[in-house]
Amino acid sequence: MLNRCEFIGNLGKDPETHTTQGGDKVVSFSLAVTEKWKDQSGERKERTEWVRVVIWNQGLGGVAEKYLSKGSKCFVSGQMQTRKWKDREGVERYSTEVVLGKFRGELELLDGKDRSDDTSSSTSSSEASKAESYQTDLDDDIPF
């Protein structure tokens, strides 16, 4: 089976960071995903869906905290999950979210802002570590 969702959109507000009772840091935000088209009469139409994103991966969460803010454009890839919870009045509620887990998920920043102090502006945790090792390999002298 496959459970994978991919979205490109803009953040509706700055990411929020929470710490679980177990000490894990969780970063979440809402992504506005807009579809645009022309109808049969040629009139432009658009529809925006709001996608809740939750990041459990510490590396990707750190990138989101550092570089994402309201209006930022990004690509996310993760698994869709629905969770059940009770509100303050005890009423059961459901939330459907795209979850970037501890070992799965992808985040790519699409704004093109200056990130010269970071070795990788996007990506999964394994790609970030590859980028770091590649960056250090470039320090060798060029023989010509």
Domain positions in the chain are: 5-137
- Which has more confidence, 128 or 30? 30
How confident is the model over 3-19, as a mean pLDDT? 96
Tokens 């590649």, located at residue: 134
Sign for the pseudo-dihedral over CA of 78, 118, 8, 65: positive
Give the bridge partners for 44, in sequence order.
38
Q: pLDDT by residue (tens digit) across 33-47? A: 999 999 999 999 999
Q: pLDDT by residue (tens digit) across 112-143? A: 765 444 433 444 444 444 443 333 344 444 44
Q: pLDDT by residue (tens digit) across 56-110? A: 999 999 999 999 999 999 999 999 999 998 999 999 999 999 999 998 899 999 9
Specify the 3-state DSSP secondary structure of 6.
strand
Cα–Cα distances in Å, from 116 out to 57, 67, 126? 22, 12, 20
SS3 per residue for 34-93? EEEEECCCCCEEEEEEEEEEEECCHHHHHHHHHHCCCCCEEEEEEEEEEEEEECCCCCEE
CATH superfamily of 5-137: Nucleic acid-binding proteins (2.40.50.140)
How many Å apart are CA 119 and CA 121, to the nearest integer? 7
Predicted local distance difference test score (pLDDT) of residue 48? 96
pLDDT at 19 over 50: yes
Predicted local distance difference test score (pLDDT) of residue 114? 52
pLDDT at 31 over 50: yes
